[in-house]
Structure 1
Amino acid sequence: MNDAAKKILLIVVLALAVAAFFYFDLDKKLTLENIKQSQAELKRLYEQRPFMLIAAFVAVYIPMVTLSLPGATVLALAAGAMFGALVGTIVVSFASTIGATFACTISRYLLRDWVQRHFGDRLVKINEGIHREGAFYLFSMRLIPIFPFFVINLVMGLTGMPLRTFYWVSQVGMLAGTFVFVNAGSQIAQIDSLGGILSPQLLLSFALLGIFPLAAKKGMAFYRKKTGRKPVQPQ
């Protein structure tokens, strides 16, 4: 099977998975109300078979993030309701990062050549930014809520960033947001809406955290330029 046939097969499989998700109305079942109603049952299942429930959760969560399907936020709340804040954060952190890396890989495999042919000049500028700022570039985007995570996954797949760098930066960068939602899920009875979880103050805090690494790097570069100091080289 040649590369073109493999890509077509992968597209068909992905399309069928997305179609099945909506055909079985899973998007309508993954709601805050349903999670709140099932909280007691979910906790009981976790107490009886913790590893099986965690494995089942991860098996569902990773494909949802990989395919950018709606409901990942509700599942993060469900993780908090089932596993508690600490275990839930660990589980969602790894599952979401693995799913994001798969999405990045698929985007790179399916779209990068086409984008390179049609938008090569623009992609060069993005790659220059990645090369210049390195991990700070992705880390900042992960922390600033105005950038949807699925968009970041797809766009980073079009760049030359190594997947191992994408993985660990995403793991660290998404950790704060993951904790916010999972911790909220551990107190799910008090939540009335998804919008109520992220207050304007919290959104501003995330934005400032996202801007800080790049601002600090730019500030150090400006300082070195003015003083003539060279970057410290590792020994």
Structure 2
Amino acid sequence: MTEDDRPADPARSRGTLRRWAPLAIILVLTAVAFGTGWHRSLTLDSLVAHERALRAFIDSNLFGALAIYALVYVLVVALSLPGGLILTLAGGYLFGWFLGGGLTVLAATAGAILIFLVARSSLGESLAERAGPRLAALREGFAANALNYLLFLRLVPIFPFWLVNIAPALLGVSLKTYVVGTFIGIVPGTFAFAFVGAGLDGVVDAQRASFETCMADASARGLDPASACDLGLDVAALVTPGLLAALAALGVLALIPIAAKKVLRRRSAR
């Protein structure tokens, strides 16, 4: 009997299934989300367009609305879909900065943990087995100061959230360190953007009034209101340089212990 004729090892097959099935599910769901265009509904214009219906649902079923918001946020993070910032602003706008910000931190952390576990199970072990000397050294260096590095990556808003979710899994960061670093690291930015979202009422009211005037004028002139009018809410205008600088400063603070450790190590080596 040749090696190819031997029956497959059930235990090995189950191990392979456990390893790759979660990643396959994530990829399929991500493809469905992009294929159906579901992620395109995560915009400020969509939020304003459905605001009255959303607030009516929240008033009649607060806990249900919170659960749906949290579930959507977990899915967006776990599937690495664009729209996390919009959802954070929406959470502050619809639920208030404190409740919306707190729920967002929990949901974002849960989604990040989910994709971290999938990446570590499916890719991390394989990468560790095939890692060359340079990558192995990078993994060791990152692991030695994993919490500080992770806090820096979370606090500085120039790194894509999906990349920071996956990279630690490939660099051998422990689950405990990842959870602590993620939870603490996203708190400042999340509450800052939730606070911005909570203050959008005046901006939204002004833009809605302008939009409704444009719609009426377009209809009177025989134009298509949908193509002639736009709410014009720009997320980039809400993310001020001062806010980004403050978050970047917090990120730099997270690296101070690493720099101090290296300085002390060099002095002791002299």
TM-score, normalised to structure 1, is 0.87
**2:6 is matched with which residue?**
none
Kindly report which structure 2 residues correspond to 1:31-180, keeping only aligned pairs within 5 A, or say none: 31-180=43-192
| 82 and 114 in structure 1: CA distance in 2 versus 1, 3 angstrom threshold | same
Identity of aligned residues (%): 27
Aligned residues: 227
**1:194 is matched with which residue?**
235
Which whole-Å CA distance do the structure 1 matches of 2:236 and 2:152 have between them? Answer: 22
Unaligned runs of 5+ in 2: 1-12, 205-232
2:263 to 206, 222, 229: 222
- 2:23–2:119: 8 Å Cα contact kept in structure 1? no
CA RMSD of aligned residues (A): 2.1
Unaligned runs of 5+ in 1: 229-235
1:38 deviates by 2.1
1:221 deviates by 5.4
1:187 deviates by 2.5
Which whole-Å CA distance do the structure 2 matches of 1:109 and 1:188 have between them? Answer: 41
1:28 deviates by 1.7
Paired residue secondary structure (2:50): helix
1:86 deviates by 0.4
Give the greater-gyration-radius structure (CA): 2
Which whole-Å CA distance do the structure 2 matches of 1:151 and 1:112 have between them? Answer: 14
Deviates more, 1:153-162 or 1:17-26: 17-26
Q: Which amino acid in structure 2 is aligned with residue 90 of structure 1?
A: G
**1:233 is matched with which residue?**
none
Which whole-Å CA distance do the structure 2 matches of 1:145 and 1:42 have between them? Answer: 29
Which whole-Å CA distance do the structure 1 matches of 2:86 and 2:34 have between them? Answer: 16
Which whole-Å CA distance do the structure 2 matches of 1:195 and 1:134 have between them? Answer: 31
